[in-house]
Structure 1
């Protein structure tokens, strides 16, 4: 079942328990993340979430003002916790508190720039930087990119995009890839749905 189908089921009343909805989404996201990790599948996941949220925003929000945020937040938290569990690493109390605080802050409680800083604060969790593989770091950036697209205003978008691009380039530099490839990957992560497949094809052919 695709994300849009899962959310349609919720909107139609077939999934009445919100916890069940989150579980269904988390399960689907986990399958995508762990199946192959291919850029095309990651991008497809992000596109499905983003497109659905924009198209169904009004009808979705009338059910729960915080539904969109809870879906992204819960899935991200579960994803990070699963990584830690697999690697048999337990965060110290302060690190887990920092992670949950970053993911649990609703955008309406902050200005757009404060929220971008909250996203950047995730870099301070050094435990994750040491644990994550390069591919997992790219997935992390994709999660942040999805959150950024849904919740930051047009005015903040350029600033957020440039900061995300710098983070991504730092990772790519460590992989010793050229900047053309770096830009292809970044374009992929930030692609709009109408040209996503074209960029996917270019990126997969390049790497």
Structure 2
């Protein structure tokens, strides 16, 4: 006698998500639609939990989680994620590559998208195994020393003489600039000019006062 097939009825959590999605589609509220996107991504996440449980321990390539925001996403790893398409019913599995963002699959069936993500995870694990199995990179011989001038290749102590046959690398002292020729005439600093200015004002005021006294006598 054949065993009875396992029950395919949805669980309580999936039923609650389905009700939220239905209410969001009927109301059309932006916040409710965003919550509906998160609920759909959670449904896909539940499909992937058995696959994620089979990933060997110690493999940190994948960090699967749903992130809310302006565009809710289900991240698979650092370069691959799932988001809802414009119709809010289809899943879009995207991957960032050197040539740009590539659509791996777009479907409204979460099981089909989960199968494609499973194949992606399996391929990443195989690539990791191949990299670990590769032989270590051979140590290349050290590069020969560069052909530097003797002054850099064999430095001498400060104040020492140069080795025999080696020209002195010390540059010749630059000639001292000729002394400045003093120009004839009297130079005034800023302070001296200011003092002379005050003296001129005092002389002028004294002259005006003297003229006034002289005029008052006559």
**TM-score for both structures, normalised by structure 1:** 0.27
Q: Higher relative contact order at CA 8 Å, sep ≥6: structure 1 or structure 2?
A: 1
Name the one with the larger strand percent. 2
Name the one with the larger helix percent. 1
**TM-score for both structures, normalised by structure 2:** 0.26
Structure showing greater radius of gyration is 2
